[in-house]
Amino acid sequence: MSSKNIKLALTVEAKAWKHALCRHMHKQYLTKMNDTFETIDDFAKKLSRQIRDLDDVRFAMEALKNVREEYSAIDAIIPPIEEAFSLLNKFDFEVDSDEVCYKL
């Protein structure tokens, strides 16, 4: 077996591993991104509710308390998500254009 054949086989195998890793990373960070956006949307819905009485004030205060509690976790997850999608782009992994358009 010549070294050209070995080199070609190793290149093909490396590309297959890279694609498998990118696929796994995409799935994992897409889930994290969607969960984060779902949490943010939930907070936005709760905070956009019109305040009419004292119960609405209590509801809004509870929502703000939850935002404060979750802020650190959300703030910590955003940079790794951005970095993951940047790496996927660097390795020419096809990412849906809707995912790329998200601004975290």
Whole-angstrom distance, CA of residue 91 vs CA of residue 93: 6
Provide the whole-model pTM: 0.75
pLDDT tens for the chain, 104 residues: list them. Answer: 688 899 999 999 999 999 999 999 999 999 999 999 999 999 999 999 999 999 999 999 999 999 999 999 999 999 999 999 999 989 888 887 666 655 44
Cα–Cα distance list, 17 to 3, 4, 44, 95 (Å): 21, 20, 40, 18
Give the residue carrying structure tokens 């119960």.
Answer: 55
Residue position matching structure tokens 């995409």: 26
Residue 13, CA distances (Å) to 26, 27, 57, 94 in order: 20, 21, 60, 19
